[in-house]
Structure 1
Amino acid sequence: MALPESGTRRGPTAGARSDGVRPPKTGELVARRLRRRIVEGSLADGDYLPNEATLMEHFGVSRPTLREAFRVLESEGLIELRRGSRTGARVTVPGPEVVARPAGLLLQLGGATLGDVYQARSAIEPPAARLLALSADEERYAALEAEVEPARAAVADYERFAVASAHFHLRLVELSGNLTLALMAGMVHEIILRQTQASVRASEADGEHDVYARAVRAYEKLVKLVRAGDGPGAERFWHKHLQAADQLVLRDREATSVIDILE
């Protein structure tokens, strides 16, 4: 594995600046160099960093400074430290769950409601459907179509259907090709999943079994519009579907606090 670029040395001494802005510590500079290599792909998921002695010599830093850099990267979920092991620090490329957990906490702290979350979903998913339809990417089309089958196979099992349904919505956005939209969808996925589970339990108790089949038909129609490359049509249809689906899923629970769903 190639070493990160060299050039990091001990930072300026304390008091070198008088404008009130703290200069970064040397450990933070080392972490910045390593982080850039991970982001650029020079250090891939699963790679092991060189041993401490090699890195200390390369960056010209002490062991405490290097370990400070490791702690920064570990807190960001970019490396895994295997203490007591000779293998050292292993690169770990985080997924959307890294932002999903703190985002859920912020929504709770802010007093967000289910109405807030579902409004956000309606702002995210229809444009994602349009982007996916216009991508002309057969692999992505096939991937979305494959997501219909788990939902279709679970129409008689409401717990499985809730999971399959929430995952279909998430994958729709992920397959749009827009990373920002995908991260936003991932942030609210857990909330959507839990409320969908509550909704299908209520439907099951009321004997509303046809709700699941109608949802699957909507997924199938969306796939057809996407495969046809009809971006505006896919967006309009999915917006209309979400309006109807949200009424069933929320069941007058728009004002319910997110904290009551996640706990």
Structure 2
Amino acid sequence: MVQADARRLDEGPLDSALAASVRAPKTGELVARRLRRMIADGELKNGDFLPHEAQLLEHFGVSRPTLREAVRVLESEGLVELRRGSRTGARVRIPGPEAVALPAALQLQIGGATLADVYTARSAIEPTAARLLALTGDEERYAALEAALEGERDNLGSPAGFAVGSARFHLRMVQLAGNQTLALMAGMLHEIILRQTRNAVRSSGRPGMDEQALKSYEKLIRLVRAGRGEAAETFWRKHLAAADEIVLAGQAATRVIDITD
């Protein structure tokens, strides 16, 4: 039972300072933890309603205020949507990358992070993702990246459109690599990269820059389709170094807050 879970676990001797710093979780937090696990395990899917209150009260053996506290915890985490006055109850809402992107951008702003910080992080993420994608041998993933490239070809002649498509191509490549942690990290940086890329393309006025980018994307796809992981990683690292030099020209010390505000 949840009540049993709430008992203290420090029955043995503990250092007094440590004991003072340890707090047993409230029963509402334990119920929220169980429900969160059900969502993570797929027992409750996006769009599902939580079971009726009476069922949950019987299942967890807790009071109504405790159950409602648990639901409020999940609501604050963006995992459920609760419409006040609705008789249907709380509905599961699986958050997307934007759920962590905004808080991450705020942390970068508060910490005084620069664009150079952000692009260095991207250079640590994307080449590894390129290698992993090449090693999957998954034709469907390669076709999906090819589709992203075709969409980018349609943006030629539109600097703003190409900037958006470029940022999306980079993000899509990481997503297709199959490593969820790398994809999450890339998604956190996406909005900052998108805004700076858009600014750089608008102000650079360099003829042929978009065409050069397309050629690089084409070569990357050839390498990953051939399963050449190390070559894909090396090539993409060099591509990013050259591209970042252009994008960050005179802007490396610009603070993230100056881009996102």
Query: How is 1:31-180 mapped onto 2 (pairs within 5 angstroms)?
Result: 31-180=32-181
Per the TM alignment, residue 71 of structure 1 is displaced from its structure 2 partner at its CA by 1.0
> For residue 199 of structure 2, what is the aligned residue in structure 1?
198
Q: Which residue of 2 aligns with 1:235?
A: 233
Q: Percent identity?
A: 65
One-letter amino acid of the counterpart of residue 2, structure 2: T
Unaligned runs of 5+ in 1: 1-6
* Cα deviation, residue 215, structure 1: 0.5
What is the one-letter code of the residue matched to 2:212? R
Q: Is 1:249 aligned with 2:252? A: no
C-alpha separation between the residues in 1 aligned to 2:151 and 2:134?
Answer: 21
- Per-residue CA deviation, residues 58-86 of structure 1 (Å, 9 max, x unaligned), is 21112211111011111111111122111
**2 CA distance for matches of 1:47 and 1:33?**
16
Write the distance in 1 (CA, Å) between the matches of 2:141 and 2:227. 12
| Distance in 1, Cα, partners of 2:66 & 2:191 | 38
Alignment CA distance shift 1:153-1:209 (3 Å) = farther
Letter of the 1:223 counterpart: I
One-letter amino acid matched to 2:52? N
Query: Is the counterpart of residue 225 in structure 1 residue 223 in structure 2?
Result: yes
- Could you give the per-residue CA deviations for residues 33-80 of structure 1, whole angstroms, max 9, x where no partner exists? 101111111111111111212211221112211111011111111111
How many Å separate the matches in 2 of 1:31 and 1:162?
41
Matched residue type, 1:8: V
- Provide the residue aligned with 1:210 in structure 2: 208
Shift in Å, 1:9: 2.7
**Structural RMSD (CA):** 1.6
3-state secondary structure, aligned to 1:147: helix
Mapped to 2, the partners of 1:234 and 1:34 lie a distance apart of 42
Counterpart residue type for residue 60 of structure 1: G
For 1:105, give the aligned amino acid: L
Amino acid at match of 1:230: R
**CA offset digits 1:115-152 (Å, max 9, x no partner):** 01001111110010000001101111111111101211
Using the TM superposition, give the Cα deviation of residue 98 of structure 1 relative to its aligned residue in structure 2, in angstroms: 1.4
Letter in 1 for 2:258: D
Residues 86-137 of structure 1: CA deviation (Å, up to 9, x unaligned): 1111111111111111111111111100001001111110010000001101
Residue 164 of structure 1 deviates from its aligned partner by 0.4
1:12 Cα deviation after fit? 4.5
Q: What amino acid maps onto 1:36 in structure 2?
A: R
For the residues of structure 1 that align with 2:162 and 2:85, how far apart are their CA atoms? 44
Separation in 2 of the partners of 1:167 and 1:224? 19
C-alpha distance in structure 2 between counterparts of 1:53 and 1:209, whole Å: 66
How far apart are the structure 2 equivalents of 1:32 and 1:108? Answer: 31
Q: Which residue of 2 aligns with 1:9?
A: 3
Q: 1:4 corresponds to which residue? A: none
